[in-house]
A and B are shown apart, each in its own frame.
Chain A
Amino acid sequence: MLHIKCPHCGMRSQNEFSYGGDATVKRPELNKEVTDQEWDNFVYNRVSPRGKHLELWQHLSGCRQWIKVERDTATHEIFKTYKANEEIA
């Protein structure tokens, strides 16, 4: 079980969180014309990297905040966690 540092609450066990997918995906702006390809990339297409990955997690059974977690997908090492609106270093 992973040990994740919630930037709001501190170190907590994985079972308080739920996984939310790739955090680098950016939703196209509302009312903006987007091509099929751009939209498909947003909705469906994801890379599945081995190694460092920026992920979304929600502290579901805690503060309910969505956070960003920089994690190694192979070793499960967590490098850093960020608040939803925090600048990624």
Chain B
Amino acid sequence: MTQSYRIETGGLINRNKKISFKFNGTSYFGYEGDTLASALLANGVHLVGRSFKYHRPRGFFGAGVDEPYAVVQLYRNGETEPNIKATEQELFEGLEASSVNCWPSVNFDIGAINNFLKIFLPAGFYYKTFMWPKSFWYKIYEPFIRKAAGLGVASTKHDKERYEHKYEYCDLLIAGSGPSGLASAYSAAKNGAKVILAEDKPRYGGSLLTSDVNIGNQSGKDWADGIISELKEMPNVTVKNRSQVFGYYDHNMLVMSEKVSDHLPKTKKYHPNKRLWYIRAKEVLISSGSIERPIVFGNNDTPGVMLSSAAKEYLKVYGVLVGKKPLVFTNNDSGYETAIEFKKHGIEPIVLDSRSNPQSEIIDEAKNLGINIKNSYVVVAAQGYKKVKSADVATISEDKKTLGNIENIVCDCICVSGFWTPTIHLASQSGNKTKFNEEIDAFVPGVSKQNETTLGAANGVFTLEETLKTSFEKGKELSKKITEKDNEISIPNVVEKKYSKHDKFWCVPLPKGKSYKRFLDFQNDVAVSDVEIALREGYRSIEHVKRYTTLGMATDQGKTSNLNGLQLVSEIENKVVPSVGHTTFRPPYTPISIGAIVGREVGKHSKPTRKSPIHNWHEEHNAVFVDAGVWLRPRYYKRGNETLFEASKREAKNVRTNVGVCDVTTLGKIDVKGPDAAEFLNRVYTNAWLKLPVGKARYGVMLREDGIVMDDGTTTRISENHYHMTTTTAQAANVLSHLEYYLQLVWPELNVNVVSTTEQWAGAAIAGPKSRDLLQKLFPKTDVSNEGLPFMGYVEGDLFGVKARIFRISFSGELAYEVNVESDNGRFMWEKIIEIGEEFQIQPYGTEALSTLRIEMGHVAGSELDGRTIPYDNALEGLLSKKKDFIGKRSLQRAAFVAEDRQRIVGVVPLDKKTSIPEGSHLVKDANAPLPNKKLGHISASCWSVEYDNPFSLAILKDGKNMIGEKLFVMSPLKNKVIPVEIVSSHYVDPKGERVRS
């Protein structure tokens, strides 16, 4: 296929390298340096999609980040990405893209029926229509609307691409590499400042790429190329293209998205797809330029209607004609630049200027070239459905209210210029209170709130000479403050054409008897009539009008629509634009991939998975793992075809009859050291700690100041001033912070230090009636008899040459020990225990068996210490010292905490001794009571008791103390279960605790 709209020579593309690509299944080719948009236009393709609401045909409106319509679904290297702007996507070999928002195809779209039903789809239509009946919303309306609306489709596959985050500090961050960005970067760099210069496009230079100017006796583009290559050589300068600074946050932090690989067919090895930069800059220079404003007229969304600056860019950068019979519709001199470019390439444009008698250098040039110029003329409406075929034009009166006779001019594109809107998004995001500049009919930055300065067109300065002068000076001034250097920079002389004043005209009135749609917001299908309805219905605040009509919302953020929307509101309301005010500009300025935001925080828990040093052994022995916080712990060790239920029963049973071993490395461990350590523990824990002798462990409970149990665990006195504290796996980090809080802020007079030792020790719990026999074989030189190492005792031992700590503590309720060795020896310890334990029928057990063992013993864990229970609720009130004060003690006097019928832990057994009780179920008195049935308590943990071979649960039950022996019902509406149960003691097995002391 020939590229019938590509001119013979010119443009910045590489004509030596052809690139083939597919759009909606058809093959085309373009050149290296094309965007998808320029390549399609070169092939004469204008129809790229359908609009959001009415499904009207959509073409290209801009040539870059300002593009509101041309979003496509992109396919690259087996992946797909939605909502890519065709004007920003660089062409690569094998690129495939398709239209969005249309079915079955972009040429024949069933949804377009909405266009003919548009009188039924005005602003607020959804809000008004789908209100009733209420039950319809969830099942009928919402799925329908979601299907009909929406843009592209996100992939449901795992994203193979890699995204990185980078943190950077610099003296000056400069956003935009147009004339002001280049000039300020250059003078700051010469002063030795650390500079980052960011450009969102692949090519540097901004407006210099397309404008007809001369700087220091070179073309604007050559000057820009020279500055860039000089900057790239400087070690204190980072120059980044394809990098969009999209957000300005607190304390001068900006975020930039760098597209590292999007322009390539495939991401290079070891390269990320995108890189998100968090940049903390001492000074920020915003040189983001300006975006051309459309003029509003009938059917101004027809493919072929586009910004005149975009038409010029396609021609000058890509060598592409957007049409061969162009009509230029302008209210200022910019349109003439586009017309002159057309004329230079042998195309005959017609210029319609809304002004009656404009005079300027550039207009003279256009006249001298013989361009057909019609003054006091406007486009009333574009004609054509999928492409502009002609334009209805008319003269307009001086007051811009009355149209003359309608004439029809045949054309294939309408290039529109309604003057320029500074891109103030970043300044506004930083907190700058913007102000309205009457001269240019637009908002510009006002007083800076953070260290930000806006330069050039973004600041409403539209002459190159002034832009360069102020930018060189600003870059110099700001860098001098930081580096204290002051290099002289000579400001080059500038040759540019002078502009005459633009016309404040922005909207063509409707001719009598016509009801053309005149669009304000092209992305969200918001027309003049929609805003009129919103105002008629009483919406006044511009923020409310925005939400009711969707004007300026979504990915576009009102880049081309904002000001015209404000003009309309102020006109109807008879106010001036500044008193209407603009809506808040929110980051991101342009859509950013979710992948880039997430970065490397992907996969399980978005965090690195923690594994014990014994993990590989577990894997080798068929462990099935479970998440415990960020840790992976063996849940059970599968033998043959065993289920979880069978395996955990086997493992728990073996602990009760022989001996088992469990990896308890994940428990939090904190070293508490110092002469006041005992006093500190005495304040942190609810029970007494001052008299604990060296070589003894004690179980302790710690509260929050509000009296709620925070954590529990054993702490062992290793030596005079050294304690080894254990915490639950989940609370380890919180407990350390909690201890540090009291030591640093509340009781700084205590001479104590705390440090986490969780990673330093590997732990194995050895539990069961045969555990002592096994321990004796592991530590033949150590006396581990009941006298030598009594319950809650601690000794150090020698495990075949490895130093070990031996604690006689028990979570399972059996005779049990915990052995700790340095982490690196963890696997050695484990293998020795398994090897020597063989003669005692040892089996490893996982967390499921561990739970079973502790539940039937009535030992509390995280499911009871759930941040809502006090010591009494867990039958731990025996651990509350009456003699001393401790953290949270005063709260325990609160009325609710001492109520007679306070909730308390109980055991629950089903009457049939068969039905398992789902965790989280409610306990009720009467299963048939009307809903909502009064809840008396909830099931906190359930197991199958291996001791009695029937189901057993723990529950937190209102007035639990007096409920033992009561018959209640367990209800689980989720599992659709009602189970009659009996309330028993929570200490189901060995209620006197004899085994642990045996």
A: which residues have CB within 8 A of B?
1-3, 13, 18, 20, 27-28, 30-31, 34, 36, 39, 42-44, 56, 58, 60, 64-66, 75-76, 78, 84-85
Contact = CB atoms under 8 A, between A and B. Distances in A.
B748 A34 contact: no
A13 B280 contact: yes
B117 interface: no
Contact of B250 (A1, A20, A66): A1
Given A2-B251, A58-B737, A76-B250, A66 B745 contact: yes
B741 A58 contact: yes
B890 A34 contact: yes
B253 A3 contact: yes
Nearest to B733: A60
Contacts of A42: 705
B594 interface: no
Contacts of A75: 431, 449
Given A3-B251, A84-B748, A66 B741 contact: yes
B167 A64 contact: no
B249 interface: yes
Contacts, number: 55
19 contacts: A1-B250, A1-B253, A2-B250, A3-B252, A13-B167, A27-B705, A27-B746, A28-B890, A39-B890, A39-B891, A43-B706, A43-B891, A58-B737, A65-B744, A75-B449, A76-B250, A78-B251, A84-B744, A85-B744
B251 A85 contact: no
B436 interface: no
Contacts of A60: 737
Nearest to B737: A58
B890 A20 contact: no
Nearest to A39: B890
B748 A85 contact: yes
Contacts of A58: 737, 740-741
Interface in B797-845: none
Interface residues of B, number: 25
Contacts of B103: none
Nearest to A58: B737
A18 B748 CA distance: 20
A1 B278 contact: yes
Contacts of A3: 250-253, 280
A61 to B, nearest CB: 11
Contacts of A64: 740
Q: Looking at B252, B431, B740, which has the most chain A CB atoms within 10 Å of its CB?
A: B740
B890 to A, nearest CB: 5
Interface of B: 167, 249-253, 278, 280, 431, 449, 683, 705-706, 737, 740-741, 744-746, 748, 884-885, 890-891, 894
Contacts of A34: 890
B248 to A, nearest CB: 12
A3 B740 CA distance: 23
Q: Looking at B705, B745, B748, B885, which has the most chain A CB atoms within 10 Å of its CB?
A: B745
B896 to A, nearest CB: 12
A76 B449 CA distance: 11
Contacts of B705: 27, 42-43
Given A13-B280, A84-B744, A84-B745, A76 B251 contact: yes
A31 B744 CA distance: 20
Nearest to A85: B748
Given A76-B251, A78-B251, 19 more contacts: A2-B251, A13-B167, A20-B741, A27-B746, A28-B890, A30-B683, A31-B884, A31-B885, A36-B894, A42-B705, A43-B705, A43-B706, A43-B891, A60-B737, A65-B744, A75-B431, A75-B449, A84-B744, A84-B745
Contact of B249 (A1, A30, A44, A85): A1
B744 A66 contact: yes
A15 to B, nearest CB: 9
B969 to A, nearest CB: 36
Contacts of B249: 1
Contacts of B431: 75
Contacts of B741: 20, 58, 66
Which A-B residue pairs are the 5 nearest by beta carbons? A3-B251, A30-B885, A84-B744, A66-B744, A31-B885
B672 to A, nearest CB: 15
Contacts of A44: 706
Contacts of A85: 744, 748
B679 to A, nearest CB: 10
Contacts of A66: 740-741, 744-745
A65 B449 CA distance: 31
Q: Looking at B744, B746, B894, which has the most chain A CB atoms within 10 Å of its CB?
A: B744
A28 B741 CA distance: 15
Contacts of A18: 737
Contact of A1 (B251, B744, B885): B251
Contacts of B740: 58, 64, 66
A75 B251 CA distance: 10
B5 to A, nearest CB: 47
Contacts of B748: 84-85
Contacts of A78: 251
Contacts of B280: 3, 13
A39 B252 CA distance: 41
Contacts of B890: 28, 34, 39
Nearest to A83: B744
Nearest to A32: B885
Contacts of A20: 741
Contacts of B251: 1-3, 76, 78
A84 B744 CA distance: 6
A76 B252 CA distance: 12
A4 B779 CA distance: 52
A3 B282 CA distance: 12
Contacts of B744: 65-66, 84-85
A66 B251 CA distance: 21
A20 B737 CA distance: 10
Contacts of A28: 890
A21 B501 CA distance: 57
Contacts of B894: 36
B689 to A, nearest CB: 14
A56 B745 contact: yes
A48 to B, nearest CB: 19
A15 B251 CA distance: 13
Contacts of A84: 744-745, 748
Nearest to B705: A43
A42 B431 CA distance: 36
Contacts of B745: 56, 66, 84
A3 B251 CA distance: 6
Contacts of A1: 249-251, 253, 278
A27 B885 CA distance: 13
A39 to B, nearest CB: 5
Contacts of B449: 75
B256 to A, nearest CB: 14
A49 B530 CA distance: 41
Contacts of B250: 1-3, 76
Nearest to B255: A1
A42 B705 CA distance: 9
A53 to B, nearest CB: 15
Q: Looking at B431, B705, B706, which has the most chain A CB atoms within 10 Å of its CB?
A: B705
Nearest to B280: A3
Contacts of B278: 1, 13
A4 to B, nearest CB: 9
A60 to B, nearest CB: 7
Contacts of B737: 18, 58, 60
A27 to B, nearest CB: 5
A78 B706 CA distance: 30
B880 to A, nearest CB: 15
A51 to B, nearest CB: 16
B254 to A, nearest CB: 10
B750 to A, nearest CB: 11
A9 to B, nearest CB: 15
Nearest to A3: B251
